[in-house]
Structure 1
Amino acid sequence: MTETIWTAGELAAITKGSLTGVADETPITGMSIDTRTLAEGDAFFAIKGVSMDGHRFVPGAIEKGASLAVISEGDAPRALRVPDVLKALEEIGIAARKRLAAGVPVVAVTGSVGKTGTKEMLRLAFGAGGYVHASAASYNNHWGVPLSLARMPAGIDSAIFEIGMNHAGEILPLTAMVRPTIAIVTTVQPVHLEFFDSVAGIADAKAEIFTGLVPGGTAIIPSDNAHTERLRAAALACGAEILTFGRGGDVSLVETDEEGVIADVLGTEIAYELAPGAHVANNSLAVLAALSVAGRDLFDGAAALREWSAPKGRGRRVRLRPAGGEAVLLDDAFNANPAAMAAAIAALGRVEARRRIAILGDMLELGPTSDDLHRGLAPLLVDADTRIVHTVGTMTKHLRDALPFELRGIHADTAADLLARLDPIEPGDAVLVKASKAMGLSTVVDALEKTYGLERRDV
């Protein structure tokens, strides 16, 4: 039986809205802003976006069995009418947070790289100790965070939220809604530089997450980042306890290889299985730090990480089957910035392969340093013993020009243009696909999977 999260009457009371065609006691079993994924019993929120008005989809939501539609205009046979739909969603999210029992750990994670992967590791680790609620996918923005909160049942044992930003000030209202007991910053790197004067400004924006901490809350920060002390100062200003992870941190790596990790957690050594990748191992330290703060069993939580796998587009490893053999695809096409590119290229370099091939698209939102940051990838590709580098977009022309001539593959303006000219994958190849999401290189991943079949291998 599907769990009832709210009743229609409760939503009306929280939002001070008016119900039409639905009884107060009507159960609400989910929250949706997208009719494509809406399930019967969900409340559908007709949010107005920049380019899309959710009110257009209200009839479809009702037809699919929505318990009610939250609307600010028009009509629906089952409706909750409010002045502002997004504001109503925020109010419900805040109410969901308030009704949690005292002592329930609420973890919020942000950072330039690794937010979603770390959130998923937290979900597994805390799930080993009870009923955990976590943000779906990358729901980390001005609608994703309140939606994730609003979906949260009352009787959970822990909650995990991802919080993102592109501009200064965006995290402040989100962390105020979440009110975390534990706030994690995975790293600070040159991301979204188009909107910041410096990386220090990015650190300050990430540190906004500490402003929402409950009294006595804990900030978990990297021990070895260039802006660690800036993060520490911001956390202390918010009255937070501080725990560090990484080289020389309170939680540190003892050893890591393709099979797993050995970590030191405040003097306790723990071995656990984890998908390969130095950045993955480092982010797992933040997870162990959070478990320690929450008083959860470290060994059970760490053991649960064996189930972790990279999501589609975020470092997922796929086994391809070209004629006569096998090849490996590293699907990292969801997002890109200099730090994430460096980690992905390093991961490619660790794969045993006859040829290492990189298909790279533009990194966006890097501002005036973009040319140099793209050129700076060239030595990393050489160090990873990459044989061919295909480039897509405008900014990757600077990367191509910096590469040794023999490494230069195809340059294309678009993903479709590249696919039309791409040579076949051969047995023994390892292929990395990475770019900012807007470059559309996920279509390259889809085409390679379709052409060569797939057998998923988690990393």
Structure 2
Amino acid sequence: MPDTTILWTRKDLQAATGGQLAGDVKVHGVCIDTRILKHGDLFIALIGHNSDGHRYLRQALEAGASCVMAHDEAAISTAGLTDDPRLLKVDDTMQGLEALGRYRRAQFSGRVIAVTGSVGKTTTKNMLATALAPYGQVHASVASFNNHWGVPLTLARLPEEAAFCISEVGMNHPGEIAPLAAQIRPDIGLITTIGSAHLGHMGSIDAIADEKAALFAALPSSGTALCPEASQGLARLKQALPTGVSLWQAGVTTSATIRITDLTCTADGSQFHLTTPRGDTDVRLAAPGPHLARNAALALGAIAALGLDPKAGAEALRHFQPEAGRGQQRLLPGGITLLDESYNASGPSIRAALDTLALMPARRHLAALGDIRELGQFAEAEHRALAEPLMKHDILTFCCGPHMKSLYEALPPSLQGGYAENSVQLASLLHPALQKGDVLLVKGSLGSNMRALIALLEQPMSTTTHAPESA
């Protein structure tokens, strides 16, 4: 059934943006992509690197948009919308989107949690959304909407009646988190990890820690900051805390605010006991991997930081499953189990995925790895360092991409499954090597296009081995 909740009215849209809108519209959602637009949405014509939403104004209205936000006079005229009562005319659509986010955040009386980290932020955000559901209505970022348009879009979609808002925050260059955090104005800030992701742009782990610390710096004096107790750059995180902000650390030592004990990790999942300042609980996860246990502890710690007993949240997490590309498991033709980590990659996340792979019973453990991007001068060393966990777990390895070649050459011949320049070519080497009972990890940065490899592995072998390079 269509959503009948009124998210924005004409009065609110004009008040938020200062724009001109003649029609008495009622908006049920906010969208920047006509391919996923729903009836009753406000369509915002953003201008990106490779596209201009103004080209789709008429298409958006024909698809059922109740209103379109635009600023390009020529495009508005070409679409025949100059006098259309459904046109919200603003000076700049990106600024208009940000204005909607700030307006809704100012109206919101619920609690706001912001999540960032070099690894695990989307999974932790999803875990937190699942765990918070028993306590009230939750609004959370969609997918990885964590950048300069994803954050205000999340806020612009925030229902006033929600009890909680969870916003993911990302970065790959210095100076990105502070302005996003200023829009979110979080009550609780959660940092999952400080690691080498985007090291090429940032220059050092200390610089990454300083950038992540900008989230903590945005907290109010009544806020709570959460991070792992063994986090790199911990001293820098502490220095960024405003006066009065509480720091809760998750870990296994007796000094951890959120303490994990009795941790057991198997191929079927993990279980552990969690101690928090708001109560203790037993936690069981149906998805394997020590990293997921750590993410769950942080998510439940955030619930405790809201003043809530985490037991109901822990119960909700029993059925949590990772998304496709983020640790989801499924069967490939021929009886091969796929561990799909194809969405993105960094050194720490690959190590975590390899630990998970090693837990899974298999005839053989295999990994297909694509380049880690945005490492700059550190690329070769970061890739070669992955040889150690691959040898430790005796994983037959297939690699693609110029940076992964350095890892492939660092492996002993017994673990060298095959190397190709790109993921499509790698499929032709990997597919005939797979055998029933194998468990295969596929992982790489988004730009490595490891999803294409998976798509080819899901086809009959005869199709894969003759796949065109442009597939």
Structure 1 position 321, deviation (Å): 4.0
SS of 2:36's equivalent in the other structure is coil
Q: How many matched pairs? A: 442
Shift of 1:385: 1.7
The aligned counterpart of 1:265 is 275
Asked whether the 8 Å contact 2:172–2:202 carries over to 1, the reply is no
Maintained 8 Å contact 2:216/2:237 = no
Q: Structure 2 length normalisation: TM-score?
A: 0.91
1:192 partnered with 2:204: no
Match of 2:339?
330
Matched residue SS, 1:159: strand
For 2:207, the equivalent position in structure 1 comes to 201
The letter for the 1-side match of 2:48 is: G
Residue type matched to 2:281 in 1? I
Q: Distance in 2 between matches of 1:120 and 1:71?
A: 32
Deviation at 1:214, TM superposition (A): 2.6
Whole-Å separation in 2 of the counterparts to 1:175 and 1:450: 44
**Residue aligning to 2:465:** none
SS in 1 for 2:240: helix
Q: Structure 1 residue 233 and structure 2 residue 239: aligned?
A: yes
Q: How does 1:122-141 map to 2 (within 5 A)?
A: 122-141=128-147
Cα distance per residue 1:283-342 (max 9 Å; x no partner): 1111111111112231101111123111111111112341xxx32101101111100111
Aligned pairs (5 A) from 1:15-414: 15-20=17-22, 22-23=23-24, 26-73=25-72, 74-75=75-76, 76=81, 77=84, 78-101=86-109, 104-235=110-241, 237=242, 239-248=244-253, 249-254=256-261, 255-258=263-266, 259-266=269-276, 268-274=279-285, 275-322=287-334, 326-386=335-395, 388-414=396-422
In the other structure, the counterpart of 2:464 is: none
Q: Helix, strand or coil for the counterpart of 1:422?
A: helix
Q: 2:468 matched to which residue of 1? A: none
1:35 to partner: Cα distance: 0.6
Distance across 2 between alignment mates of 1:307 and 1:8: 41
Q: Specify the SS of the correspondent of 2:193.
A: coil
TM-score, reference length from structure 1: 0.93
Partner residue of 1:429?
A: 438
Stretches of 4+ moved more than 6 A in 1?
none
1:256, distance to aligned residue in structure 2 (A): 2.8
Q: Could you tell me whether the CA contact under 8 Å between 1:111 and 1:187 is conserved in 2?
A: yes
1:420 aligned partner? 428
Shift of 1:239: 4.2
Tell me if structure 2 keeps the 8 A contact 1:256–1:281.
no
Identity value in percent:
39
Letter in 2 for 1:411: Y
- 1:12 alignment partner, one of 8, 11, 14: 14
- Distance in 1 between residues matched to 2:406 and 2:243, nearest whole Å: 42
One-letter code aligned to 2:94 = L
- Paired residue for 2:467? none
Structure 2: unaligned runs, 5 residues or longer: 462-471
Superimposed CA distance per residue, residues 197-216 of structure 1 (whole angstroms, 9 cap, x where no aligned partner): 21011000001112221331
Is the contact between residue 129 and residue 297 of structure 1 (CA under 8 Å) also seen in structure 2?
A: no
CA contact (8 A) 2:209 2:232 kept: no
1:260 Cα offset (Å): 3.2
Corresponding residue number in structure 1 for 2:469:
none
Q: Deviations over 1:403-448 (max 9, x none)?
A: 0012112211111111233333321100010010001111112222
CA distance, structure 1, for counterparts of residue 342 and residue 66 of structure 2: 36
Look up the SS of the partner of 1:319 in the other structure: strand
How far the C-alpha of 1:154 sits from its partner, in A, is: 0.4
Cross-structure match for 1:457: none
Q: Structure 1 CA distance, aligned partners of 2:197 and 2:18?
A: 40
How much is the aligned-residue C-alpha RMSD, in angstroms?
1.5
Q: Secondary structure at the match of 1:18?
A: coil
- Cα distance in 2 for partners of 1:211, 1:92 equals 23
